[in-house]
Structure 1
Amino acid sequence: MRLTQWTDYTLRVLMYCAATEGREQPVTITEVAEGYGISRSHLMKIVQQLAAQGLLETTRGRGGGMRLMVPASAINIGAVVRATETDFNLVECFDPATNQCRLSSHCRLKGVLWQAMQAYLAVLDSVTLADLMAPAAAGGAGGAAARALLPTVALPQNSGAVRRSAWAAGLPSKAENTE
């Protein structure tokens, strides 16, 4: 349940545009590229897709740029993720065309992971772009508001902690598993 870089950048573009809503000048691709350290050419493709989906209004030329075409409160994050993600197959057995797993006929992992994916998408479906905006950005103060969009969730310091704790809990190592 990891988002692709494409989806990550798509959400960043939408959030930046929402944070600058009400500003006289539209947001430019260069502004977003410099603000987030993302390639301009990559962003151009993302902006084209968002415009084709009716989420962004784009104007070319001097004074051009992009703005949200619909209110942030009408942009559902679950719908954006579904439109930008290309593969929701968490494990091989999710795709019958490529499934080679010999356990598929009696394994319950697929069902558990499918339920987890549905719960993940249900949470995203309950969130709009407006919900993601920091309170300081709600006033549409412009570039400062967009720069205020920093992560608010602390990430674990040691990503391997879960793996080690499972082995410490007494699960057999590969050497001990002789079956």
Structure 2
Amino acid sequence: MRLTQFTDFGLRALMRLAGAPDRAFATAELAREFGISRHHLAKVVARLASAGLVRTRRGGGGGLSLARPPEKITLGEVVRLLEADQALVECFATTGGGCTLLPDCRLKGRLARAEIAFLAELDRSTLADCAWKPRTA
């Protein structure tokens, strides 16, 4: 399974927040630290905030922080949230895609079970397990 850049950015941001749970980070600071687009990261942060995974506060002393303890947020929960709009294969899309093999495809069920197993494995780990702090020079 391949994750989107959107999910990659979200996981990185959450892992960083988990590494310093008592501190707030500016989106621009995280984007600089990871060498990624601040604009794209802001979209990811908006999705995480609307799902209640992060808390945002504007102004001085504001920033981004985890809304729940890192040991209460599973990687599977995060991936499900951030990949919600991405079907593993075309026939998994809500429209059914344009697959000419349906309804006789013998692959779809196997892929569905693999996706379930993938997410179940991610449910076994939390952000606390993957908390990240940058190395100091």
Which TM-score applies when normalising by structure 1? 0.66
**Comparing 72-81 with 43-52, which one deviates more in the overlay?**
43-52
Contact 1:93 1:99 in 2 (8 A): yes
Indicate yes or no: 2:97 matched with 1:98. yes
Partner Cα separation in structure 1 for residue 118 and residue 87 of structure 2: 11
Contact 1:7 1:84 in 2 (8 A): yes
Partner residue, 1:157: none
Q: Which runs of 4+ in 1 moved over 6 A?
A: none
Partner Cα separation in structure 2 for residue 68 and residue 122 of structure 1: 23
SS of 2:113's partner is helix
Alpha carbons of structure 1 residues 22 and 89: separation in structure 2 relative to 1, 3 Å: closer
Contact 1:20 1:27 in 2 (8 A): no
Q: Which has the higher contact order (CA 8 A, sep 6+)?
A: 2
Partner Cα separation in structure 2 for residue 112 and residue 73 of structure 1: 31
Q: What is the number of equivalent residue pairs in this alignment?
A: 133
Which TM-score applies when normalising by structure 2? 0.84
Of the candidates 34, 37, 40, which is equivalent to residue 36 of structure 1? 34
Partner residue, 1:20: 20
Partner Cα separation in structure 1 for residue 119 and residue 81 of structure 2: 12
Deviations for 1:79-118, whole angstroms, at most 9, x for unmatched residues?
A: 111111112332x3434632332x4454422222222111
Structure 1 unaligned residues grouped into runs of 5+: 138-144, 149-179
Alpha carbons of structure 1 residues 94 and 27: separation in structure 2 relative to 1, 3 Å: closer
**2:86 corresponds to which letter in structure 1?**
D
Structure 2 unaligned residues grouped into runs of 5+: none
Partner Cα separation in structure 2 for residue 93 and residue 52 of structure 1: 28
Partner Cα separation in structure 2 for residue 94 and residue 20 of structure 1: 37
Matches within 5 A, 1:129-168: 129-133=127-131, 145=133, 147-148=134-135
**2:87 corresponds to which letter in structure 1?**
F
Indicate yes or no: 2:94 matched with 1:77. no
User: 1:59, CA displacement in angstroms?
Assistant: 1.4
